[in-house]
Structure 1
Amino acid sequence: MSTDYQQAREALGARLRELRFSSPGCRLTGQQLAQRLRWPPSKVSKLELGKQTATPEDLQAWAEATGQPGAYPELAARLAGFESHIRSWRRALANGFAPLHEGLTQELERTSELWMWEESVVPGLLQTPEYARHVIRRYAELLGSASDIEDGVRARVQRQKWLYCPGRTLHVLMWEAVLRSMICPPSVLAAQLDRLAGVVGLDTVELGVIPFTASMKIVPANGFWVLDDRLVVAEDWHAELWLDDADNVTLYKKVWRTLRESAVYGSDAHAVISSARRALNLR
């Protein structure tokens, strides 16, 4: 997880601990507070240590249980601050692309099952180096930052070792637009499509494609990853969101399963990829 984001969670946890210690009448132990809140003691500990992201409801309950309801607006402001700003692309890229990749790579190293959805770009775990170079360059040009494009490419390709480790499985869904988006020269896209065609049938990868002609039950919005049912990483133009609360993880898994209902697999997926490849009209 990004350093800034984790530091913000830890700072919020330290503030929650202060409220527990300064509870009017007596200093509360973690066990006593958990009993008041009817929470498992482990939740109190995780929130104070910055190992779990609090919800607004958690913060309000905490403020009231410690006898300091007036502290809630401050707690809510802290949460809103690091949820909406700390992981902004501009701030994250201040130190270049390589550190940005390292944070996600660390999370992947402890992940055994990964669900991905992409609506416009080939997922990083399946990108060729040349395709990755064009994608990273586009973001660098947009955000006006990060000169270490080649370091970013190397880090992204290095991360792909995850696919070949025993006991790991990638479930990836992509819209047909991914196969036809000309964010790189036709020759680069052709090589990338060949790479995807080769992935179909790999025993560690379940690759589904949603054709343009498929009936959709949900809007094919921004891409996201779900790591082991414990963490969601979702991307927008301004930021990368890391969501680890159970409600959001459940929501994104529901979105993924709904999208999957429109996907084709195996030979049908291969046919959609081949159609996009032929449309490039390369000799």
Structure 2
Amino acid sequence: MSTDFQKAREDLGRRLRALRKESTHGPLTGTALSASLGWAQSKVSKLENGRQTPTAEDLRAWADATGHSEAYQELHGRLKGFESHIRSWRRQLSSGHRPVQEAWNTVTDDARVLHVWDSFAVNGLLQTPDYARHVFERYARLQNSPRDTEDAVRARMDRQRWLYQRGRRLNLLLWEGALRAQLCPPEVMAGQMDRLLGAVGMDTVRLGVVPFNAVLRLPPANAFWVVGERLVITEDWHAELWLDDSDTVALYRRVWESLCESAVFGAEAQHVIARARQAIPT
């Protein structure tokens, strides 16, 4: 779990504890508060110690029960502040992949420049429909989420209009492993490699590949997007992280620049992609 996220939960827990102890009805014990709310006493303890994320309804009930109804807006603001940075896949995918893709479309529509590192799969802006379809199906099985694959594919393909708009620039780095990962049948992988070969010459795309034999300044760790100079989006198995403080954005740009030093571009990138295509089993 993100250290920043956990710290924010603990800070919110301390604020909840202070409201309980400063109740307008006189100091309340955790047992008394839980009884008045009809909660298990362990829930009060977990919330106050940052071991459980409250819902907005929990915060409203806590503020009212302690006689501090006016504190709800502050508490809810804190919750929105750190929940907006940690977006669990379970919650995001509760209605399928299409809403997630549409949210991404909104983010990219507002951006003119993207700096992206992909270490495990071909980037969505350059995926073929068939490749995207297999990726969505694999994640839907993993997360046990609603199967809306075709709607999700259409939303992802709609995002690719971004590449054909004047003034846009995709600065994309791919780890060679993303070209070799057999996430779909050979014929689909071959079509995906052909798509990448054609993307090398696009005016709006600067496509670099970090080969397996490159000298690395940093390990080829998790994938991420830097959207303009204002937002970083990265992900783990449990959640997607949206990070917007300036120091973090600057850190990820330094990571991108370090990886870029190990990348090849133009004809050399095409050679690495073509080599991966030739290695596809027939």
Q: With the length of structure 1 as denominator, give the TM-score of the two structures.
A: 0.71
CA distance in 2, matches of 1:163, 1:231: 19
1:233 equivalenced with 2:233 (yes/no): yes
After TM superposition, the structure 1 stretch with the greater mean CA deviation from structure 2, 179-188 or 273-282, is 273-282
CA distance in 2, matches of 1:79, 1:164: 35
Q: Which amino acid aligns with 1:160?
A: Q
Q: CA deviation at 1:263?
A: 0.2
**Alpha-carbon displacement from aligned partner over 1:83-128 (angstroms, at most 9, x marks no partner):** 67x5100100011111111111111111000111000100000000
- Structure 1 unaligned runs (5+)? 1-11, 16-73
- Structure 2 unaligned runs (5+)? 1-11, 16-74
Shift in alpha-carbon separation, 1:76–1:247, aligned structure 2, 3 A: farther
Which residue of structure 1 lines up, in the alignment, with residue 205 of structure 2?
Answer: 205
Which residue of structure 2 lines up, in the alignment, with residue 82 of structure 1?
Answer: 83
**Alpha-carbon displacement from aligned partner over 1:115-163 (angstroms, at most 9, x marks no partner):** 1100010000000000000001110000001211111011001110000
Larger radius of gyration: 2
Q: CA RMSD in A?
A: 2.4
Which residue of structure 1 lines up, in the alignment, with residue 177 of structure 2?
Answer: 177
Which residue of structure 2 lines up, in the alignment, with residue 133 of structure 1?
Answer: 133
CA distance in 1, matches of 2:84, 2:101: 20
Shift in alpha-carbon separation, 1:76–1:157, aligned structure 2, 3 A: closer
Q: CA deviation at 1:166?
A: 0.4
SS of corresponding position for 1:87:
strand
The 5 A counterparts of 1:1-283 are 78=79, 82=83, 87-282=87-282
Shift in alpha-carbon separation, 1:281–1:94, aligned structure 2, 3 A: closer
Q: Which amino acid aligns with 2:232?
A: V
Q: Which amino acid aligns with 2:257?
A: R
CA distance in 1, matches of 2:181, 2:273: 13
CA distance in 2, matches of 1:83, 1:106: 15
SS of corresponding position for 1:207:
strand
Q: With the length of structure 2 as denominator, give the TM-score of the two structures.
A: 0.71
Q: Which amino acid aligns with 2:83?
A: F
Q: Which amino acid aligns with 1:96?
A: G
SS of corresponding position for 2:87:
coil
Which residue of structure 2 lines up, in the alignment, with residue 31 of structure 1?
Answer: none
Q: CA deviation at 1:256?
A: 0.3
Show structure 1 runs of 4+ deviating over 6 A. Answer: 74-77
Which residue of structure 2 lines up, in the alignment, with residue 66 of structure 1?
Answer: none
How many corresponding residue pairs?
A: 212
Q: CA deviation at 1:246?
A: 0.3
Q: Which amino acid aligns with 2:116?
A: M
SS of corresponding position for 2:171:
strand
CA distance in 2, matches of 1:100, 1:78: 21
Q: CA deviation at 1:79?
A: 7.3
